[in-house]
Structure 1
Amino acid sequence: MKNPKAREQSFSIYGPLSLLMLLLIWALLLILGFGLFFFSMGSPFADSIVGSGAGAWTRFGSDLYVSGTTLGTLGLGDVLPRSPLARTLVICEAGVGLGLVALVIGYLPVLYQAFSRREVSIALLDARAGSPPTAIELLRRHSFEGGDHALEALLSEWERWSAEILESHISYPILCYYRSQHDNQSWLSALVAILDTCALLISVLEERPSRQAQLTFIMARHALIDLCQVFHLQQKKTWQNQAQQDRLPTSEFDLLCSALADAHLRLCGDPATLRRLRTIRSLYEPHALALAGYLRMPLPAWIAPPREKDQWNLLTRLRSEAVLDAEQAKTGVTSSFLREDEHSH
């Protein structure tokens, strides 16, 4: 699909639709399997529609009918089993049908609860790291006084989020195909943005919460690598293609440092900074690129282009104007008092 919006919309329905189709296929295979059991027993049923001299395909159709009504626990009673073994199989299939219904009732809520918990943190990251999220924007929006504590709390929360992703998405890999409901957001881009932030805190920046960054990095990387193993990406073509990609070329590293300096962040400044950053990037970027190619989810850029309609920039500008107006008003009141005092003297 050449239209990106149509392509994303089709991807967004792929996960939920594939789950429903999977449950439907399970039910159809159970009906076919028990129908073949009945057919192998010589169709031991008393059917008023199908006579004793009916052909094989007609009898097999009757067996499938019995199997379908039994699995759905309808119990119409228009076709009756004529042997003890057939009755036993009917009872077994009815029990399997109840188990299938219980599986659907218990399976779907668990999946959608895990999906909902995942998306809440991704939605909250929008105001803290932009959309799509980037490490530079996340650090810039936490460069205020006391921002270190807020950033440490955020990384601690995302350490737990990564652990939940590790447990839920490995148990239910189909959740990886579920797309976020908002544009420019995905669980993979959010996870990589957090990894990028931790990489900068560990290897480039000084006087920042590097201890929590290390803990979050280890857990997030663990989730990323295990998900690659679930889909066997090391054996797929996407794993070879990612070796040719570089998310942060050397020519853009100076732009990265300039963006960090503009956010009033203190850099390490030694010549080995680029080497350390490249080393830590090699620990997770190949897996992230392979997952991005397999799931068709774009990864965030290290340096995001400026956005005209960014709500954070708008609110920051309005807040700065409000503070400036308040200072000017305070200065004007002070000057007025001074003039009145001079006049009285």
Structure 2
Amino acid sequence: MREFYGYEGIHSIKFGRMKAKVNGMHRFALILGFLTLTLALLDAFQTIILPRRPVGRFRITRLFFLATWTPWVRVARLIQSSKARDQFYSFYGPLSLLLLFIVWATLLAGGYGLIFFGLHTPFSDPFHPGTLGGELRTALYVSGSTIFTLGLGDVVPATLLARALVVLEAGTGLGFVALVIGYVPVLYTAFSQREIAVALLDARAGSPPTASELLVRHSFTGGNAALIELLAEWERWCATLLETHISYPLLCYYRSQHDNQSWLAALTAILDTCALLITTVEGPATRQAQLTFAVGRHVLVDIVHVFRQESMEIGFLQQPMQRLDDDEFARLCEVLGGAGFALCGDIEAHARLQSIRRLYEPSACAMGHFLALGLPRWVPPPRDPSKRKDNWTTVADLRTPSALADRLSTHLSPLSTADHFGEDERH
């Protein structure tokens, strides 16, 4: 070998192989950088800007929630206190939003850094040791300082291409910050609109809400008209939920202010009410119940599809539905009959109710299992009448100042308020 090539020939061969290896590494870094940058920009665009359900199996946001939500649930199940566990769940939504921003920013900076490295972009770095690792560290440092527009000036691009890439990355960073600033108010506005309706349901259906309680509280004179109006409002609420929570699935992880309320429980209670009005309870609200039921079921089915819980939904569909057995149905009919509602007298009423429940209850159970949210009962359990039923105490029956003072001191004490917020009394 030495005799044929000589020492200089062997040295040139080794140098050529090493150079080819280095060039291959730069090409790999360039391709990886373009892929990372493209995936990050596309994912941020689909999540923040695109006003429809994102598509595609490989999405950074989806992988992020798969990697974080399952461990979060496992840790939460180790917490013994239900109040502390619910508080732990409530941290996930806002915290995951912040972490998602960090993931996007890291991927953008890393993508540009790999592109700088792959293009052999020269930088005037006084700390650059001249090695391959030093070149990569400099490229990542320049990318990180540029994406956040720090403008330190200690490392300066030496070519026209490098300067163009730095300007492009700075523009990307400014655009990303602008998107984040605009995204957060949109997200919290949708959350606020959702929770307003959930809070208003408290005085109308109790907390947690139940279908029987909603109907019983509308058994007064003129209650049918009020019930129709309420169902129409919830039809619009379901349509709004369909728009916001399909476009921004992150909202599904956000919990309500009170530990005995949730958007899923409220939606399920409304669907239960509509199912009763369609199959069991006679009255003028049937048509509006059908309209509200159609939109509400659409919401559940689409959200199950967004979170890819179809297999869980099929599993619940194949099991006997446990939320309303024969004894509970008999008690439900007794409560509604006692409130003055006209019930269908045929023996097929329960079968019809069972049939319509299969259209939405498996979806609700699947999402309840996935999000660790409880579903409401059909009839509230027997309870001590001296204890409050709702989160918000109604004072419509107060007549005298002394009675007002007594009721307020009893029902609106700091301990009572803290109990419904899942907190201890603060001294």
TM-score (norm 1): 0.88
Matched with 1:179 is 255
1:64 deviates by: 1.3
Matched with 1:212 is 288
Q: Distance in 2 between matches of 1:173 and 1:200?
A: 29
Q: Distance in 2 between matches of 1:318 and 1:105?
A: 43
Name the SS for the 1:62 alignment partner: helix
Q: Distance in 2 between matches of 1:313 and 1:229?
A: 33
Q: Distance in 2 between matches of 1:133 and 1:42?
A: 63
Q: Tell me which amino acid in the other structure corresponds to 1:310.
A: R
1:252 deviates by: 2.0
Matched with 1:275 is 351
Matched with 2:417 is none
Matched with 1:108 is 184
Give the one of 118, 121, 132 matched to 1:40: 118
Matched with 1:26 is 104
For 1:10-33, what per-residue CA distance to the aligned partner results, in whole angstroms no more than 9, with x for missing partners? Answer: 111111111110111000011111
Q: Distance in 2 between matches of 1:318 and 1:82?
A: 76
For 1:163-182, what per-residue CA distance to the aligned partner results, in whole angstroms no more than 9, with x for missing partners? Answer: 00000000011111111011
1:317 deviates by: 11
% of aligned pairs identical? 56
Aligned-residue RMSD, C-alpha: 2.1
Deviating 4+ runs (over 6 angstroms): 312-318
Matched with 2:301 is 225
* Alpha carbons of structure 1 residues 6 and 317: separation in structure 2 relative to 1, 3 Å: closer
Does 2:234 align with 1:158? yes
Name the SS for the 1:127 alignment partner: helix
Q: For the Cα contact (< 8 Å) 1:199–1:281, is it kept in 2?
A: yes
Matched with 2:380 is 304
Matched with 2:207 is 131
Q: Distance in 2 between matches of 1:128 and 1:8?
A: 24
Q: Which runs of 5+ in 1 are unaligned?
A: 323-345
Q: Distance in 1 between matches of 2:118 and 2:395?
A: 77
1:40 deviates by: 1.4
User: Aligned residue pairs: how many?
Assistant: 319
Does 2:131 align with 1:55? yes
* Alpha carbons of structure 1 residues 258 and 320: separation in structure 2 relative to 1, 3 Å: farther
1:207 deviates by: 2.1
Q: Distance in 2 between matches of 1:140 and 1:167?
A: 31
Give the one of 142, 158, 161 matched to 1:66: 142
Q: For the Cα contact (< 8 Å) 2:207–2:390, is it kept in 1?
A: no
Does 2:89 align with 1:89? no
1:74 deviates by: 1.6
Q: Distance in 1 between matches of 2:383 and 2:220?
A: 21
Q: Tell me which amino acid in the other structure corresponds to 2:109.
A: I
Q: Tell me which amino acid in the other structure corresponds to 2:98.
A: L
Q: Distance in 2 between matches of 1:97 and 1:320?
A: 59
Q: Which runs of 5+ in 2 are unaligned?
A: 1-77, 401-427
Does 2:89 align with 1:6? no
Q: For the Cα contact (< 8 Å) 1:242–1:289, is it kept in 2?
A: no
Give the one of 261, 272, 277 matched to 1:196: 272
Q: For the Cα contact (< 8 Å) 2:317–2:358, is it kept in 1?
A: no
Q: Distance in 2 between matches of 1:10 and 1:50?
A: 46
For 1:143-177, what per-residue CA distance to the aligned partner results, in whole angstroms no more than 9, with x for missing partners? Answer: 01111111111000000000000000000111111
Does 2:315 align with 1:240? yes
* Alpha carbons of structure 1 residues 232 and 313: separation in structure 2 relative to 1, 3 Å: closer
TM-score (norm 2): 0.71
Q: Distance in 1 between matches of 2:158 and 2:392?
A: 78
For 1:109-138, what per-residue CA distance to the aligned partner results, in whole angstroms no more than 9, with x for missing partners? Answer: 100000000000000000000000000000
Name the SS for the 1:179 alignment partner: coil
* Alpha carbons of structure 1 residues 314 and 220: separation in structure 2 relative to 1, 3 Å: closer
* Alpha carbons of structure 1 residues 295 and 154: separation in structure 2 relative to 1, 3 Å: same
Equivalences for 1:296-335 in 2 at 5 Å?
Answer: 296-308=372-384, 309-310=387-388, 319=397
Matched with 2:70 is none
Name the SS for the 1:294 alignment partner: helix
Q: For the Cα contact (< 8 Å) 2:219–2:340, is it kept in 1?
A: yes
Segment drifting more, 263-272 vs 210-219: 263-272
Q: Tell me which amino acid in the other structure corresponds to 1:233.
A: Q
* Alpha carbons of structure 1 residues 190 and 315: separation in structure 2 relative to 1, 3 Å: closer
Does 2:220 align with 1:144? yes
Q: Tell me which amino acid in the other structure corresponds to 1:256.
A: L
